[in-house]
């Protein structure tokens, strides 16, 4: 669990750079708008994942469990938006968004399997 938090932060840095780059081009055509929406969703997915991973503690209060649940649902939905927007965009932005969607899915999968031992 502690290893997934820095990995999530490392994934978030290129997404912020891509968001800044795509912000200027978002009104050119459909592919640039999809990339802008995808990078926006990636920032939301990374923030929700960081919040979800940091809120989960063994035997935590119901409020923290609720926070982890809500932020986890937001992270999963925004990761799906990132993945779909990656297919609608083009070029390097497509590669970055699709790989971010896959990486976020793997982080949630590993986080789910890490809770089986406790």
pLDDT of 114 > 80? The answer is: no
Measured N-to-C along each axis, helices 30-55 and 92-114 cross at an angle, to the nearest 10 degrees, of: 20
Whether 37 contacts 85, CB under 8 Å? yes
For residue 28, what pLDDT is reported? 80
> Cβ(89)–Cβ(35) under 8 Å?
yes
**pLDDT averaged over every residue in the chain:** 86
> Which residue ranges make up each domain of the chain?
4-114
Contact by Cβ (8 Å): 43, 15? yes
Torsion of CA 75, 79, 82, 83, to 10 degrees: -170
User: Is the confidence at residue 44, as pLDDT, over 90?
Assistant: yes
Alpha carbons within 13 angstroms on the beta-carbon side of residue 89 total 28
57-108 pLDDT per residue, tens:
767 788 888 888 898 899 999 999 999 999 998 888 889 999 999 999 898 8
Res. 8: pLDDT tops 60: yes
- Per CATH, domain 4-114 is 3.40.50: no
Structure pTM?
0.86
């Amino acid at each position: 669990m502690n290893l997934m938090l820095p990995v999530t932060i490392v994934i978030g840095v290129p997404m912020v750079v891509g968001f800044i780059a795509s912000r200027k081009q978002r009104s050119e055509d459909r592919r640039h708008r999809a990339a802008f929406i995808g990078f926006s969703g990636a920032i939301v997915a990374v923030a929700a994942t960081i919040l979800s991973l940091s809120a989960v503690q063994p035997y935590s209060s119901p409020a923290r469990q609720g926070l982890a649940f809500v932020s986890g649902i937001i992270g999963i939905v925004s990761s799906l938006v990132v993945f779909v927007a990656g297919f609608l965009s083009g070029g390097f932005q497509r590669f970055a968004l699709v790989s971010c969607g896959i990486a976020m899915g793997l982080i949630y999968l590993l986080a789910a399997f890490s809770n089986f031992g406790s």
